[in-house]
Amino acid sequence: MDTDAGGSMGLIRSMTREDGLRIVAVLLTAWLLSALARALLSRLAEGVPRRLRLPTLRLRPIVRLVIVAAAVVAVVPILIEPTLANVVELAAAVGVALAFALKDWVSSLAAGLATVLENAYQPGDWIRIGGSYGEVKSISLRAVRIVTADDTEIVIPHNRLWSEPVANATGGSHSMLCVAEFYLDADHDGAAASRALTDVAQTSVHRLADSKVALTVGEKPWGPSTG
């Protein structure tokens, strides 16, 4: 039975000892180059000015990705006979794999486009997505970056727009509604408490001159301890 390319082995052609050694050499070279690049960039990052340290460190995964891609390009022709039929079959298989691998990424791109068209949020807005609440710092094609009140940056993919509600506290304006809760004794003077709370809110330095002060009253299903 013929075991050459296009035979029973499909895409993978018959391997020789020399082919195996070449593959091992390519993989070993890629591993050594990756380790060397990581070490050099780490050392370089410690010697550059502070403003260049993080950009230098960000080069490590990029360089590693380039080395891995080069290794794959070198190994594939050894494993597969470069015929037209094999190239088409391999491209189709890679396309299907990428479609499954990148479906969330593509979904985030579509949600990002919907976010821009619908103006759901913009830089400067205070939004809540799921359990994350903070100020929008930037909007990229794939995700939105928010900074919380405790100065923590959170990157949220846009595709969460399809499954979770987005609460926008500012809606593009330069002000936002602030709510303060006050707990009073059940036996209190409601009118006096309302006047006092209104005076406190109206004299706040954070209140806009033309904004209104609203008071709401609610009962809670608990009270002071009697023990």
Flag whether 225 is in a domain: no
Asked whether residue 159 is domain-assigned, the answer is: yes
Domain range for 21: 17-81
Give a yes or no: residue 4 inside a domain: no
Question: Does the pLDDT value for residue 65 go beyond 90?
Answer: no
Res 207: pLDDT: 74
The token pair that represents 190 in the structure block: 């409601």
Which pLDDT tens digit goes with each residue over 168-195? 887 766 666 677 777 887 778 878 888 8
How large is the average pLDDT for residues 154-173? 83
Amino acid residing at 40: L
Tens digit of each residue's pLDDT (9 = 90 or more) over 93-106: 777 887 777 788 88
pTM score, two decimals?
Answer: 0.52
Query: Sign of dihedral through CA atoms 49, 55, 58, 60?
Result: negative
Of residues 170, 167, 197, 202, the one with CA closest to residue 181: 197
Clarify whether residues 162 and 193 are in a common domain. no
- 117: CATH: 2.30.30.60
Do 139 and 186 reside in the same domain of the chain? no
Number of domains in the chain: 3
pLDDT tens readout for residues 199-213: 888 787 777 777 777
Q: Looking at the structure, tell me whether residues 26 and 74 fall in a common domain.
A: yes
